[in-house]
């Protein structure tokens, strides 16, 4: 039996209420169509991006696998290379370690690197006190690692290098402790920032090396100590200001060796003139603009020198040996590695030839021999 006609007619009447004229229904249909297209394009864009991500992940995975394979090969090569070294006796291995880190101010870094290669290398390095005599300190950082490394030296003389990169005063004895200070035989101080100052302990090391990287307009670091005069060897580099502003101008009755590099001529002569060092016999000057007679060399320095080394300072050479006799000089080392600014190659060579001529004449006038060490690499 079919549906009641009255029910059908009522339903048709109710649906007729939602009928819209054509001019009103068209915009709504277009709006829904645009939304559908936007949604579809967004879905396809996400699918494309996901495909790119999957491809990138696949490429990355292949690269990681290739890198792991390469590392595995290098590990095998290193193991094969170390096979012979690992079989060396411990004494020979320790001698090799000592040779590797000798003469390097940053030797603790290399020592630590060597001790981390394998357990056997660590045992060999930790049991070698000579491998830990060079220590490096960067204030104001703590000194726990410094003390631990110094314990491996087992009482051997310490060569401490300090990177002085802060503007606050530093009392070395308080910072590293009196136990470590007593072991310091050589102290290297590099100042990068100023103004700053450092107070040495009551018993300073025998050798003091002072670096400086401050500009002409910066106040340099001042190194002070009640017993600074006990220093036996002094080295200063990159000093473009009066040396008395770096080190207290005190008498140096035990000073036997001075090495000055990149020091302004006036400050060089001023320091040598004021340095009361009767035992001074070894002088090294590098990269100096010294010219005679604008700044005469102090006579007491000339008379006391036994060993003289001049490196890359051709301006000072001819007139220096023409003006002074150097009665006690036994060794003269001339090293010319690079051309000086403002000098042509001909002028440079003539300067070197002139000084060698004067030195030869000086040697012929002397009773004793004068050893000449000449290293010229123009």
In a domain? residue 114 = yes
In a domain? residue 31 = no
Per-residue pLDDT at 213 exceeds 80: no
Same domain, 213 and 276: no
Per-residue pLDDT at 287 exceeds 70: yes
Highest mean pLDDT of the ranges 60-69, 96-105, 190-199, 238-247: 60-69
**In the structure, what pLDDT confidence band is assigned to residue 177 with cuts at 50, 70 and 90?**
confident
Q: What is the mean pLDDT of residues 271-284?
A: 80
The pLDDT assigned to 214 comes to 45
Per-residue pLDDT at 215 exceeds 50: no
Same domain, 348 and 229: no
Same domain, 267 and 296: yes
Same domain, 365 and 345: yes
In a domain? residue 57 = no
Among the three residues 248, 283, 310, which one is the final residue of a domain in this structure? 248
Same domain, 265 and 366: yes
3-state secondary structure the chain: CCCCHHHHHHHHHHHHCCCCCHHHHHHHHHHHHHHHHHHHHHHHHHHHHHHHHHHHHHHHHHHHHHHHHHHHHHHHHHHHHHHHHHCCCHHHHHHHHHHHHCCCCCHHHHHHHHHCCCHHHHHHHHCCHHHHCEEEECCCCCCHHHHHHHHHHCCCCEEEEEEECCCCCEEHHHHHCHHHHCCEEEEEEEECCCCCEEECCCCCCCEEEEEECCCCCCCCCEEECCCHHHCCEEEEEEECCCHHHCECCCCCCCCCEEEEEEECHHHHHHHHHHCCCCCCCEEEEECCCCCCCCCCCCHHHHHHCCEEEEECCHHHHHHHHHHCCCCCCCEEEEEECCCCCCCCHHHHHHHHHHHHHHHHHHHHHCCCCCEEEEEECC
The pLDDT assigned to 321 comes to 55
| pLDDT averaged over every residue in the chain | 69
Percent of the chain with pLDDT over 90: 1
Same domain, 201 and 237: yes
The parent domain of residue 221 ranges over 134-248
Q: Is 153 or 313 the better-scoring residue by pLDDT?
A: 153
The pLDDT assigned to 195 comes to 42
Per-residue pLDDT at 167 exceeds 70: no
The pLDDT assigned to 360 comes to 65
Q: Is 345 or 169 the better-scoring residue by pLDDT?
A: 169
Domain of 119, CATH number, reads: 1.20.1280
Find the Cα–Cα–Cα–Cα dihedral 311, 313, 319, 324, rounded to 10°.
Answer: -40
Distance between CA 99 and CA 160 in Å, rounded? 19
In a domain? residue 151 = yes
Per-residue pLDDT at 342 exceeds 60: no
Lowest model confidence (mean pLDDT) among 137-146, 302-311, 360-369: 360-369
Please tell me the number of Cα atoms within 13 Å of 349 on its side-chain side: 5
The pLDDT assigned to 52 comes to 86
Same domain, 359 and 374: yes
The pLDDT assigned to 13 comes to 55
Same domain, 267 and 307: yes
Same domain, 138 and 176: yes
The maximal CA–CA distance of the chain, rounded, in angstroms, is 149
In a domain? residue 351 = yes
In a domain? residue 17 = no
**In the structure, what pLDDT confidence band is assigned to residue 29 with cuts at 50, 70 and 90?**
low
Per-residue pLDDT at 291 exceeds 60: no
Distance between CA 359 and CA 355 in Å, rounded? 6
Q: What is the mean pLDDT of residues 2-13?
A: 57
Highest mean pLDDT of the ranges 113-122, 131-140, 167-176, 308-317: 113-122
Please give the tally of structural domains in the chain.
3
Per-residue pLDDT at 66 exceeds 80: yes
Per-residue pLDDT at 218 exceeds 50: no
Distance between CA 354 and CA 346 in Å, rounded? 12
**In the structure, what pLDDT confidence band is assigned to residue 104 with cuts at 50, 70 and 90?**
low
**In the structure, what pLDDT confidence band is assigned to residue 115 with cuts at 50, 70 and 90?**
confident
| pLDDT tens digits along 223-271 | 655 556 677 777 777 666 666 666 666 677 778 888 877 776 667 777 7
The pLDDT assigned to 4 comes to 58
Q: What is the mean pLDDT of residues 322-333?
A: 70
Distance between CA 246 and CA 313 in Å, rounded? 23
Same domain, 323 and 215: no
Same domain, 235 and 258: no
**In the structure, what pLDDT confidence band is assigned to residue 290 with cuts at 50, 70 and 90?**
low
Among the three residues 248, 270, 305, which one is the final residue of a domain in this structure? 248
In a domain? residue 299 = yes
Among the three residues 217, 233, 248, which one is the final residue of a domain in this structure? 248
**In the structure, what pLDDT confidence band is assigned to residue 272 with cuts at 50, 70 and 90?**
confident
Same domain, 274 and 334: yes
Distance between CA 275 and CA 90 in Å, rounded? 48
Q: Is 198 or 147 the better-scoring residue by pLDDT?
A: 147
Per-residue pLDDT at 37 exceeds 60: yes
In a domain? residue 165 = yes
């Amino acid at each position: 039996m079919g549906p009641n006609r009255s029910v059908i007619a009522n339903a048709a009447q109710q649906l007729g209420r939602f009928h819209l004229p054509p001019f009103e229904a068209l915009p709504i249909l277009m709006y829904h169509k645009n939304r559908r297209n936007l949604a579809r394009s967004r879905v396809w864009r996400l699918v494309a991006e996901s495909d790119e991500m999957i491809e990138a992940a696949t490429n990355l995975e292949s690269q990681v696998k290739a890198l792991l394979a390469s590392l595995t090969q290098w590990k095998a090569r290193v193991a094969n290379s170390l096979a012979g070294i690992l079989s060396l006796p411990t004494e020979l291995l320790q001698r090799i370690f000592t040779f590797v880190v000798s003469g390097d101010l940053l030797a603790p870094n290399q020592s630590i690197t060597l001790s981390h290669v394998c357990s056997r290398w660590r045992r060999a390095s930790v049991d070698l006190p000579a491998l830990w005599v060079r220590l490096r300190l960067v204030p104001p950082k703590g000194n726990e690692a410094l003390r631990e490394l110094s314990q491996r030296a087992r009482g051997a003389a310490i060569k401490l290098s300090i990177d002085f990169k802060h503007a606050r005063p530093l009392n070395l004895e308080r910072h590293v402790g009196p136990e470590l200070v007593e072991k310091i035989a050589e102290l290297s101080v590099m100042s990068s920032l100023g103004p700053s100052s450092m107070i040495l302990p009551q018993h300073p090391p025998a050798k003091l090396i002072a670096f400086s990287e401050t500009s002409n307009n910066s106040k340099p670091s001042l190194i002070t100590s009640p017993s600074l005069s006990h220093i036996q060897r002094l080295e200063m580099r990159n000093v473009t200001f009066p040396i008395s502003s770096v080190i207290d101008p005190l008498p140096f009755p035990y000073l036997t060796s001075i090495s000055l590099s990149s020091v302004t001529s006036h400050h060089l002569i001023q320091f040598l003139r004021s340095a009361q060092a009767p035992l001074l016999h070894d002088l090294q000057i590098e990269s100096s603009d010294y010219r005679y007679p604008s700044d005469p060399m102090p006579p007491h320095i000339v008379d006391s020198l036994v060993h003289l080394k001049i490196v890359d300072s051709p301006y000072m050479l001819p007139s220096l040996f023409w003006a002074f006799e150097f009665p006690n000089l036994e060794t003269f080392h001339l090293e010319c590695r690079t051309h000086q600014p403002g000098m042509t190659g001909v002028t440079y060579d003539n300067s070197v030839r002139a000084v060698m001529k004067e030195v030869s004449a000086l040697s012929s006038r002397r009773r004793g021999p004068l050893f000449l060490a000449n290293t010229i690499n123009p």
